[in-house]
Amino acid sequence: MLDIKTIRERTEDVKRGALNKGSDVDIDRILELDTRRRELLQSSEVLRQRRNEVSGAIQTMSSADRQAAIEEVRQIKVQLPTVEEALKVVEEEYRALMYKVPQIPADDAPVGKSEHDNVVLRHEGGQPRVFDFEPRDHEALGELLGILDKERAVKFAGARSYILRGAGALLELAVMRLAIDIVIERGFTPILGPLMVNYMALEGTGFFPAGEEDTYRLERDEKYLIGTSEVHLVAMHANEIIDEASLPLLYTGYSPCFRREAGSYGRDTRGVYRVHQFSKVEQVVICKDDPAQSQEMHHMLLKNAELVLQALELPYRVSAACTGDMGQGKVRMFEVETWMPSRQAYCETHSCSELHDFQARRLGIRYRDADNNIRTCFTLNNTAAASPRILIPILEHYQDEDGSVRVPKALVPYMNGITRILPGGAVER
C-alpha cells in the first residue's frame, strides 16, 4: 500500500507506475474519495465536538437557552449517523482501491509487459554442459533412479503431485539444509512458522486481493495455506514499533508451500517444474526506510542466492525484472534463472524483491528513530532455494550416460556421504 501523501504529491508518477505494471486502478477516483473522506471526517469531528460542548454546558444554562441547546443536541444526534454512514461507504471504496495501487517501480527498472522484456545482467557458473550422449530429462532420470514417482502421487493426490523417494528425498533435504546453513552463516535467524494463516497476513504482505485464486482456502476455518514463508516472516511483526537499534532484522524461513497454479492448465505438465506443493528456504529483511540501505540489502539477498548456486556449481544468469513482471508491491526485482538442459533455457529458480514500505504500511510495521519519530519500515525478500524446481538442473546437469547422477560435492555431507545415485535406487558412497 502506498502512502496517500505519495499519491497526492506524486500523482503522475503513481499513474505511470500503474500503467507500466499493467495495473488497472483509477487513481483519480482515489483522490476524489480521499477528498470526500477528509471532508466527512472533519464534519463528524465538528459535530461530535459541538455535541460535547453543548451537552456539557446545558446544566449551567438558563431555562430558555437549555431548551434550544437540547434541540441542537437532538439535531446533531440525527445528523451524525448520516455523516458516519456516508464516511463508512466512502472508506470502504477508498480502502478497496488503495489495495490495488501498485508500488512505484524504481527509475532503473526496465519497462516491459512480461518476462520476455526482462533484461539479462550477467551469466555466471560457466557454460551450460554439452553432452556427448543423449541426455534424459529429470522425470526420466527420476523414474530410472527410483527417486521420483508421479504416477502413485497422482493416484491419490491428483495432478501436479509427486513423491520423492530414498535418495531423492535426501537430495531435496540436502539442498534445503545447504541453503539454510549458507544464510545462517550470513547472519540470518531461522524461523519455522505457521502454514495456515488469516486473511490479514496475505493481504498485508501483498498476496491478496490479487492472488486469491492461486491460494488454497480452508473455508471451514477461514484460513489460507501459504505460498511462501515470507508471509509469516513479515506478518509476525504486524502492528509493532521496532527498536531502531535492532534493525535490520534478517530472517530465513523453511516451509512447505502451496499454490493452486490457477490459469496454468496444460502448462508444464511433464516433470516437477510446476507443482501444487513445494519446499522453500526464504530470506526476509526488515530495515529502516532508507532507499540506500534497502538497495544494499537487495544485493546482499541476491548474493546469498548466488552462493547457493555457486556451491551447487550450476550455470545461471541474473536478470532485472521488467515492470510488467515484477508484481504489485515491488520497487525492483532480480530473477535468478538456472540452466535446465531439458528445457534448453535458463529458467527461474530464485526471485529477489525490494518492496520499500509497501508491505510494512499495510501491516503497520514501524520503528522509532533517534529523534523519537515513528517511521514505516522497508521490507525485502528472496528465495534461497526452492524444491523440487532446483532438483531439475541438479539431476539433468549431473547425469551420466548410464542414467546415474553424481551428487554435487557441496551436498555430499548432507547426503550421508552419498556421491552417486544409481538406477534402481542404489547409491555409491
Distance from C-alpha of 344 to C-alpha of 348, rounded to nearest angstrom: 13
Q: What is the DSSP letter of 411?
A: G
Under a CB-based contact definition with an 8 Å cutoff, are residues 421 and 405 in contact? yes
Per-residue b or e along 384-402, where b marks 16 or more CB atoms closer than 10 Å to that residue's CB: bbbbbbbbbbbbbbbbeee
What backbone torsions phi and psi does residue 104 show, to the nearest 5 degrees? -75, 120
The Cα 284–Cα 296 span in angstroms is 14
Catalytic option among 354, 389, 396, 404 = 389
Q: Which of 348, 354, 387, 396 is catalytic?
A: 348
Give the Cα separation of 228 and 254 in Å (integer): 9
Please say if 274 is a catalytic residue.
yes
Whether residue 335 lies in the annotated active site = no
- Find the Cα–Cα–Cα–Cα dihedral 59, 64, 70, 74, rounded to 10°: -170
Annotation says 92 is catalytic: no
The three-point CA angle 138-140-141 to 5° equals 60
Within 99-249, where are the H helices?
Answer: 138-145, 150-157, 167-185, 199-204, 230-235
Q: Are 196 and 223 a contacting pair, CB within 8 Å?
A: yes
> Catalytic one among 50, 217, 260, 274?
274
Distance, CA of 313 to CA of 329 (rounded, Å): 32
Q: Pull the grid cell for residue 70.
A: 437540547
3-state helix/strand/coil string of 365-407: CEEECCCCCEEECEEEEEEEEEECCCHHHHHHHCECCCCCEEC
Do the Cβ atoms of 142 and 168 come closer than 8 Å? yes
Q: In sequence order, which residues have a C-beta less than 8 Å from that of residue 296 and are 6 or more positions away?
A: none
Please indicate whether residue 389 is annotated as part of the active site. yes
Q: Are 80 and 51 in contact (CB under 8 A)?
A: yes
User: Position 351: which residue type?
Assistant: S
Q: Which residue has the cell 513445494?
A: 278
Active-site positions? 259, 274, 348, 351, 389
